[in-house]
């Protein structure tokens, strides 16, 4: 088995004596300020970012000094005679016409235009054009040029002059030749790879001088080191290569460590004492072993079971027989506030009773801490970076994604949806495939989005379809904001004070807290938690009422009941109230309780699962595992886990916030990485021993942090899809109706501008 390091290069860590921006790789994100499209173009071997008519970078420098930049770019082919003006902190420093193809330009960065600290480098193009002008294209972006790399160095450094010469390498890039993967590296620099070792691990590569360096009589010092999680860097191999040397042979380096160990492997390139062109080439760099540890990730075998493990669920499938399925979603319900998850207050006695009669998934997570993303994942069994790959995170669900309701309805299952949150409804296309879909605040305006509205609607629907096999989806608003439970729930867990009723319903109070303009008191936060708990207790009562309806109509013993949430809620544990913006446990850890008639009772499953697993589970319950839906699903049925099967130890869950450049959380059984794509800031928690995420161990465990970060970035890249092909429709954001606007305002999603 082989791990190709050239293919992993876009996600690797790198350092150079010069400032290097590799556009289209995650390392470039902290430099970007505006004017760049977020998706990388090109193949993995040669990534780039498209820029609009104006684009800007932020670079951090010490004292001003004369610097130069090497800018590697290509004008958009739809623009003729492109020109570029470069400005440094608002001062024009260069202007020139671009060549028709890809080219490198040497740009002066005079000290007089610099300032200590952050410096803004702005690119102003004379023209831009849209691919939509081409017949049949739906790509409406305005493109000016493709940015490949930027290198900044002191004017006294001769390397920038060398890099604009013909045949010069990129500062650090994959450079395959004759189909052989390779990495070319301009020294002095180092590139580091976070790896999980296979058994009998070894590194193989062929060292060489880059071709242009040979012609320039260059020399380079090459070195390989390894670090384990205990710290300390160990050199494994080194050599100085000169132009006069003959071709080198392949090098084989044994990698110390046991199978499964996390290590950081480093490739160094430096200048020999007499050398100017320290340009190294690592040909076919790869880590090999007899048995490769399976890569962690949503696309890995952690979700795939052996046939014998899958067969463990056959008895459960038979027991569920002709059962119906009712899926209950409690909006913004965090697991830690449920009795069955260990909460001291009696917030969820009805759900706890259901849990005692069924299965509790102790470690269930949401892929998105906002409703639109979470439900898109639930209905498609795809992560947000897959189901919204071609469009904004805030757009409706793309129509080419098959939904669970479509898969069920296409096989004759009666489907119905009942929602109390406008975001979960027709506004974003979530009604697709349902035979009946009701937004209850429209049907019963006197009750609005209150859970009691379902008591008017569900009994009648259940009675009408009791003789059919059905799937019903019920989405409660509670315990979501506003935290306004009515009596007796407003005082069930303590006094209704000190927050006033108007204050706690006003988004402005929470906004002031979240943006640091107001610091809430301990009593205010305690009151806020009591109100949240009251909301949860209220919806728990409504779940009990639904249970009694099912019992009265003779449906309880032939209906699978699933209770879950779309995401959790922060209640100021990390200085934030609400959801959408953080991926800590309070926002990502959700309840998941499943009761199957004739199935196991009082079972608790500790394996990692998430909302992507629900659609395959529901299809499995209906005996419909062979639908076209399976081809797109990234989740897997939970029935084998309920029956005692074990998922692989490499299983992870992935969660994200809103925004085009979000914060992600990657979690496995022992560790959790929180990574901000805008800034590059990261946190690592030993989540098994530190479930409260109190201690960030990035500084003390840099090797492990490197491994998890590179794993995350690789997984995200795997999930990205190409932009829409010519003629393919790209959906724009739907405009809410007046009723939907009122509901969105009530839930704290939009301001007064919604009409």
Do the two domains 1-12+157-293 and 322-649 of this chain adopt the same fold?
A: no
Phi-psi region of 5 (alpha: psi -120 to 50; beta: other; left: phi over 0): alpha
Select from 685, 655, 656 the least CA-distant residue to 670: 685
Residue 45 clears pLDDT 80, i.e. is over it? no
Q: Which two tokens stand for residue 25?
A: 């790789």
**What is the structure's pLDDT at 723?**
45
Which regions of 257-346 does DSSP assign to beta strands (E)?
Answer: 262-270, 279-288, 324-330
**Neighbouring residues of 548: CB distance < 8 A, sequence distance ≥ 6:** none
Q: Which two tokens stand for residue 91?
A: 């001062």
Q: Which two tokens stand for residue 164?
A: 């604009």
**What is the structure's pLDDT at 747?**
53
Helix (H) or strand (E) run with residue 415 in it: strand 414-419
Q: What are 422-444's pLDDT values in tens digits?
A: 898 998 999 999 999 999 888 87
CA torsion, ordered 391, 394, 400, 402, to nearest 10 deg? 140
C-alpha distance from residue 712 to each of 43, 360, 593, 655, 668 (Å):
19, 28, 28, 11, 11
Q: What are 298-354's pLDDT values in tens digits?
A: 655 568 888 999 999 999 999 887 899 999 999 999 999 999 999 999 999 999 999
Taking the C-alpha atoms of residue 728 and residue 715, their distance in angstroms, rounded to an integer, is 26
For the chain, the average pLDDT equals: 91
**What is the structure's pLDDT at 548?**
97
Mean pLDDT value across residues 552-566: 97
Residues 142/129, Cβ–Cβ less than 8 Å: yes
Q: What is the CB neighbour count within 10 angstroms for residue 336?
A: 16
The residue whose two tokens read 């100085």 is 240
Q: pTM to 2 decimals?
A: 0.91
Taking the C-alpha atoms of residue 242 and residue 412, their distance in angstroms, rounded to an integer, is 72
pLDDT band at 246 (very low <50, low <70, confident <90, very high): confident
Select from 754, 371, 329, 422 the least CA-distant residue to 580: 371
pLDDT band at 649 (very low <50, low <70, confident <90, very high): low
CATH number of 19-155: 2.60.120.260
Residues 696/684, Cβ–Cβ less than 8 Å: yes
Architecture of domain 322-649: 3-Layer(aba) Sandwich (3.40)
pLDDT band at 448 (very low <50, low <70, confident <90, very high): confident
Select from 594, 192, 629, 243 the least CA-distant residue to 402: 629
Architecture of domain 1-12+157-293: Sandwich (2.60)
**What is the structure's pLDDT at 1?**
73
**What is the structure's pLDDT at 733?**
43
**What is the structure's pLDDT at 469?**
95
Q: What are 142-188's pLDDT values in tens digits?
A: 999 999 999 999 999 999 999 999 999 999 999 988 889 999 999 99
Residue 414 clears pLDDT 80, i.e. is over it? yes
Mean pLDDT value across residues 605-609: 95
**What is the structure's pLDDT at 140?**
83
Taking the C-alpha atoms of residue 347 and residue 535, their distance in angstroms, rounded to an integer, is 9
Taking the C-alpha atoms of residue 406 and residue 380, their distance in angstroms, rounded to an integer, is 10
Percentage, residues of the chain above pLDDT 70: 92
Residue 732 clears pLDDT 70, i.e. is over it? no
Select from 599, 572, 598, 574 the least CA-distant residue to 584: 574
Which residue ranges make up each domain of the chain? 1-12+157-293, 19-155, 322-649
**What is the structure's pLDDT at 22?**
95
**What is the structure's pLDDT at 741?**
54
Residue 753 clears pLDDT 50, i.e. is over it? no
Cβ burial of 121 (10 Å; 0-12, 13-18, 19+) is buried
- Which residue has better confidence, 451 or 203? 203
**Neighbouring residues of 530: CB distance < 8 A, sequence distance ≥ 6:** 493, 494
**What is the structure's pLDDT at 752?**
41
Residue 534 clears pLDDT 90, i.e. is over it? yes
Q: What are 271-307's pLDDT values in tens digits?
A: 876 668 999 999 999 999 986 555 555 655 568 888 9
Percentage, residues of the chain above pLDDT 90: 77
Taking the C-alpha atoms of residue 361 and residue 335, their distance in angstroms, rounded to an integer, is 10
Span of 81-90, 298-307, 470-479, 486-495 with lowest mean pLDDT: 298-307
**Neighbouring residues of 462: CB distance < 8 A, sequence distance ≥ 6:** 472, 549, 550, 553, 555
Mean pLDDT value across residues 500-523: 89
């Amino acid at each position: 088995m082989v791990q190709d390091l050239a293919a992993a290069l876009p996600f690797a860590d790198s350092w150079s004596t010069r400032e290097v921006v590799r556009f289209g790789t995650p390392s470039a994100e902290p430099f970007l300020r505006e004017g760049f499209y977020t998706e990388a173009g090109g193949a993995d071997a040669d990534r780039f970012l498209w820029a609009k008519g104006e684009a800007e970078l932020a670079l951090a420098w010490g004292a001003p000094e004369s610097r130069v930049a090497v800018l590697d770019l290509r004008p958009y082919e739809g623009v003729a005679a492109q020109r570029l003006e470069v400005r440094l902190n608002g001062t024009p420093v260069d202007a020139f016409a671009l060549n028709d193809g890809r080219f490198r330009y040497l740009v002066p960065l005079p000290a007089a235009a610099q300032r200590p600290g952050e410096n803004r480098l702005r690119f102003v193009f004379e023209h831009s054009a849209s691919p939509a002008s081409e017949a049949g294209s739906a790509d409406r972006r305005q493109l000016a040029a493709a940015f490949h790399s930027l290198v900044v160095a002191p004017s006294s450094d001769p390397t920038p002059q060398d890099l604009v010469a013909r045949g010069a390498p990129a500062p650090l890039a994959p450079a395959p030749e004759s189909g052989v993967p390779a990495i070319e590296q301009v020294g002095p620099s180092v590139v580091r790879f976070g790896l999980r070792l296979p058994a009998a691990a070894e590194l193989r590569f062929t060292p060489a001088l880059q071709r242009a360096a040979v012609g320039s009589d260059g020399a380079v010092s090459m070195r390989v080191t390894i670090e384990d999680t205990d710290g300390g860097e160990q050199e494994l191999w080194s050599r100085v290569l000169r132009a006069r040397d003959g071709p080198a042979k392949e090098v084989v380096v044994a990698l110390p460590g046991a199978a499964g160990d996390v290590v950081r492997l480093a490739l160094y390139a430096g200048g020999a004492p007499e050398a100017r062109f320290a340009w190294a080439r690592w040909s076919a760099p790869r880590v090999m072993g007899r048995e490769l540890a399976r890569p962690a990730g949503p696309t890995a075998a952690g979700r795939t079971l052996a046939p014998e493990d899958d067969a463990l669920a056959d008895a459960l499938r038979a027991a569920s027989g002709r059962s119906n399925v009712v899926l209950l979603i409690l909006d913004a319900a965090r697991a830690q506030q449920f009795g069955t998850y260990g909460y001291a207050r009696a917030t969820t006695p009805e759900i706890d009773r259901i849990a005692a009669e069924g299965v509790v998934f102790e470690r269930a997570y949401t892929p998105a801490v906002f409703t639109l993303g979470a439900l898109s994942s639930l209905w498609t069994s795809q992560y947000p970076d897959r189901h919204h790959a071609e469009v904004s995170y805030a757009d409706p669900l793309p129509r080419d994604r098959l939904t669970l309701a479509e898969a069920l309805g296409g096989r004759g299952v009666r489907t119905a949806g009942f929602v109390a949150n406008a975001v979960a409804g027709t506004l974003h296309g979530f009604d697709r495939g349902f035979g009946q879909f009701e937004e209850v605040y429209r049907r019963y305006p006197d009750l609005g989005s209150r859970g009691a509205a379902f008591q008017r609607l569900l009994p009648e629907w259940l009675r009408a379809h009791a003789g059919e096999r059905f799937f019903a989806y019920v989405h409660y608003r509670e315990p979501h904001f506003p935290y306004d439970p009515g009596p007796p729930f407003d005082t069930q867990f303590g006094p209704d004070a000190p927050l006033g009723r108007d204050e706690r319903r006003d988004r402005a109070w929470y906004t002031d807290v979240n943006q640091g303009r107001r610091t809430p008191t301990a009593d205010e936060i305690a009151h806020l938690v009591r109100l949240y708990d009251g909301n949860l207790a209220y919806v728990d009562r409504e779940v009990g009422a639904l249970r009694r309806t099912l019992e009265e109509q003779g449906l309880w013993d032939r209906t699978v009941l699933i209770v879950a949430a779309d995401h959790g809620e922060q209640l100021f544990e990390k200085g934030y109230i609400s959801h959408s913006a953080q991926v800590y446990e309070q926002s990502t850890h959700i309840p998941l309780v499943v009761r199957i008639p004739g199935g196991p009772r009082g079972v608790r499953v500790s394996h990692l699962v998430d909302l992507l697993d629900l659609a395959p589970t529901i299809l499995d319950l209906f005996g419909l595992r062979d639908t076209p839906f399976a081809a797109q699903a990234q989740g897997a049925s939970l029935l084998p886990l309920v029956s005692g099967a074990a998922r692989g130890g490499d299983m992870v869950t992935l969660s994200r916030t809103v925004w085009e450049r979000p914060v992600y959380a990657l979690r496995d059984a022992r560790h959790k990485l929180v990574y901000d794509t805008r800034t590059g800031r990261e946190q690592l928690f030993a989540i098994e021993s530190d479930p409260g995420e109190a201690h960030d161990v990035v500084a003390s465990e840099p090797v492990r942090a490197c491994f998890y970060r590179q794993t995350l970035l690789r997984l995200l890249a795997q999930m990205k899809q190409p932009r829409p092909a010519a003629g393919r429709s790209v959906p724009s954001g739907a405009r809410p109706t007046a009723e939907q606007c009122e509901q969105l305002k009530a839930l704290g999603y939009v301001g007064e501008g919604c009409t």
